[in-house]
Amino acid sequence: MSRMRNLAAAVLATLSVLVLTACNAVLLPFSTADAGKTVLPPDIHRDLPRNPESLDFQTFVAVEVELSTQIISTNGTRIQSNTSDTPIVIATIRDGDGSVVFRKKADQNGAISGKFHIPTVEGAVFLTLEGRGFEPRSVRIDDPAALTRLDREMAMAETGPDSLFRTPFSVPDSDGDGVPDDLDDLPWDDAASFAVTVPAEGLLTVAFEDNYPGVGDGDYNDFLSTLALVEFTNADGSLAAVGGMATARAKIAGYNHEFGLVLDLVAEPEETLSGAPPMLVVGTLDETAAPLDVDIVDLPAPSSGAPGSRVSFRPRIRLFESTREAVGPGPAYDGTTAFFLLILNGEDGYQPAAADPYDPYLYIHNTGYDVHLAGKPPLEGSGNPSLPPDFPDEFVDRDGFPRALLVPTTWSPPKELRDIREAYPDFIDWMIDLKAGNFGSGYPWYHNPVETLTIDLPIPPMVDFMEFILDRLAELPAPD
């Protein structure tokens, strides 16, 4: 099986189980390794706090990660990184339930960068540094949603002068990607090393108001879909693939729509690109997980920029061409499930262009307009009208309500013409509390409905994609 097919299998197999200071340095007390021999220098925090006033009903946010790591030898000196025996350092961040939200390998200078997504009510996450030949470390980070950037300098203690990282060839690494098998999420495939799902467990729900640019009726049931994503990165920290699935859950609107996702990515400068184009696979499944349709979609090449500058890549992934057909007969029907698989060339250095690169959208066929989450741009070539300058955000209406909501769980929308403030009485007070800077506290509004005022949507069934993978992988073209 080719590397591309192996990676496609890995992505879809992972989908099958988806369902505070400013920049001033802060020094922490000295810490020691478990062996009690090596005294580590203090950690340095340069975390960047989030301005809570910038939130517009967000319940799920992205946090950037910038880590600088170093290994301290048993004699107390720093081990230089850019040598042939560079330590293998893996950073993992887990939420309070132990699910992985971030996982990457340090480069030869000990640097680790990226981002993770977390509900705003998450009370704490746990950052662990581990690898061969040094003592692992774990620290607790309270109220992670209160940060826009987690920026730390951390040290680890070498286990001894004969530590395993000094003899890396003795460590099993079946795919030769530089990540030992016991730390590699995909030890059989050198195209990717780590897999992280978004959200870490369960499903997201995205719900839209389609009366753009007018004021909506506040029930967020014009179209509603679940959404789950998986990100695959290689040992160098570049995106190797992104996959996702969505299930149409409700549509109580006269308009018909297209529902999809725009990814906001960048790649290496055009003159250094490999020339291997990204490959997009999209398809649908019925309620028995039988394939209905699978297509290979041609994508435009990343747009060129100035010489030496990274290039933009914003693929538009159409999941449901018609929401009317996707939902089926009635608002409580478990509608069509769609999936996508975007395979990238890891050598081209694809990275998110922003901390949150995911932009679910609703294109309204009847009007030619498109709506998005607050803070996101319209589609390329959008027919949206020019709005008055007093509009603070194109996708927040004059009453201050967003055109779309992203909820970090399965969610039942209000019944038709029932304002969300009636169906979810805590909606406004919770947001006021969040804007006051009270992250990680309080029972979230979306868990406290007035049940008589909400649509009773059944929880979507778990879907096993494995049989689908085996049946369809043979149809994927071999890489050029």
Judged against a pLDDT cut of 60, whether residue 13 lies above it is answered with no
**Degrees to nearest 5, angle at CA 231 with 346 and 149:** 100
Residues 118 and 214 in one domain: no
In the chain, count of helices (H) and strands (E)?
Answer: 5, 28
- The per-residue pLDDT for range 61-111, each reduced to its tens digit, is 999 999 999 888 777 777 655 454 567 899 999 999 999 999 999 998 899
Percentage with pLDDT > 90 across the chain: 42
Average pLDDT of the segment spanning 339-349: 85
Judged against a pLDDT cut of 90, whether residue 293 lies above it is answered with no
- CATH number, domain at 110? 2.60.40.10
Instruction: Identify the band that residue 175 occupies on the pLDDT scale cut at 50, 70 and 90.
Output: confident
Can you give the pLDDT at residue 139? 96
Can you give the pLDDT at residue 19? 35
Instruction: Identify the band that residue 368 occupies on the pLDDT scale cut at 50, 70 and 90.
Output: very high
Judged against a pLDDT cut of 80, whether residue 334 lies above it is answered with no
For residue 429, being part of any structural domain is answered with no
Note every long-range contact of 94-102, with CB atoms under 8 Å and residues 24 or more positions apart, other chains counting: 94/125, 94/126, 94/128, 95/122, 95/125, 95/200, 96/122, 96/123, 96/124, 96/125, 97/200, 97/201, 99/200, 99/201, 100/196, 100/200, 101/125, 101/196, 101/200, 102/65, 102/196
Between 121 and 277, the more confident residue is 121
Among the listed ranges 1-15, 286-300, 378-392, which one has the minimum average pLDDT value?
1-15
- The per-residue pLDDT for range 233-243, each reduced to its tens digit, is 999 999 988 88
Among the listed ranges 29-43, 146-160, 273-287, 429-443, which one has the minimum average pLDDT value?
29-43
Q: CA of 358: how far to CAs of 46, 244, 369, 373, 404, in Å? A: 26, 11, 19, 10, 14
**Degrees to nearest 5, angle at CA 144 with 139 and 145:** 175
Between 161 and 325, the more confident residue is 325
Residues 136 and 202 in one domain: no
For residue 268, being part of any structural domain is answered with yes
Judged against a pLDDT cut of 90, whether residue 399 lies above it is answered with no
Percentage with pLDDT > 70 across the chain: 80
Between 4 and 35, the more confident residue is 4
Task: Convert 57-74 to b/e letters by CB count within 10 Å (16 or more is b).
Answer: bbbbbbbbbbbbbbbbee
- CB contact set of 188 (below 8 Å; sequence gap of 6+): 6, 174, 175
Can you give the pLDDT at residue 146? 93
H or E stretch including 316?
A: strand 316-320
Contact 336, 251 (CB under 8 A): no
Average pLDDT of the segment spanning 174-182: 86
Between 2 and 313, the more confident residue is 313
Structure tokens at 297: 């979609």
Residues 38 and 115 in one domain: yes
Judged against a pLDDT cut of 80, whether residue 465 lies above it is answered with no
For residue 339, being part of any structural domain is answered with yes
Contact 253, 222 (CB under 8 A): yes
Across the chain, mean pLDDT equals 82
Any bridge partners for residue 130, and if so which? 90
Phi then psi for 432, rounded to 5 degrees? -60, -40
Contact 178, 235 (CB under 8 A): yes
Report d(CA 46, CA 67) in Å as an integer: 10
Q: Which domain holds residue 60?
A: 20-170
Residues 141 and 32 in one domain: yes
Average pLDDT of the segment spanning 333-349: 83
Report d(CA 150, CA 286) in Å as an integer: 41
Report d(CA 326, CA 251) in Å as an integer: 9
Report d(CA 457, CA 411) in Å as an integer: 8
Instruction: Identify the band that residue 31 occupies on the pLDDT scale cut at 50, 70 and 90.
Output: very low
Contact 128, 92 (CB under 8 A): yes
Can you give the pLDDT at residue 27? 32
Judged against a pLDDT cut of 50, whether residue 127 lies above it is answered with yes
Residues 349 and 409 in one domain: yes
Average pLDDT of the segment spanning 276-280: 85
For residue 330, being part of any structural domain is answered with yes
pTM of the model: 0.88
- CB contact set of 320 (below 8 Å; sequence gap of 6+): 225, 246, 248, 257, 258, 259, 260, 326, 336, 338
Average pLDDT of the segment spanning 214-243: 90
Residues 134 and 270 in one domain: no
Can you give the pLDDT at residue 7? 60
Report d(CA 233, CA 251) in Å as an integer: 35
Report d(CA 343, CA 279) in Å as an integer: 5
Residues 254 and 331 in one domain: yes
Can you give the pLDDT at residue 311? 87
Residues 301 and 403 in one domain: yes
- In the chain, the number of structural domains is 2
Residues 259 and 367 in one domain: yes
Among residues 135, 170, 205, the one where a domain terminates is 170
Instruction: Identify the band that residue 296 occupies on the pLDDT scale cut at 50, 70 and 90.
Output: confident
Residues 297 and 336 in one domain: yes
Average pLDDT of the segment spanning 402-417: 93
For residue 183, being part of any structural domain is answered with no
Among residues 115, 135, 170, the one where a domain terminates is 170
Q: Which of 466, 479, 68, 12 is nearest to 232 (CA)?
A: 12
For residue 271, being part of any structural domain is answered with yes
Residues 224 and 80 in one domain: no
For residue 419, being part of any structural domain is answered with no
Between 107 and 465, the more confident residue is 107
**Which of 37-41, 60-64, 171-175 holds the top average pLDDT?**
60-64
3-state SS of 11-62? HHHHHCCCCCCCCCCEECCCEECCCCCCEECCCEECCEECCHHHCCCCCEEE
Judged against a pLDDT cut of 60, whether residue 276 lies above it is answered with yes
For residue 403, being part of any structural domain is answered with yes
Residues 156 and 248 in one domain: no
Among the listed ranges 93-107, 201-215, 460-474, which one has the minimum average pLDDT value?
460-474
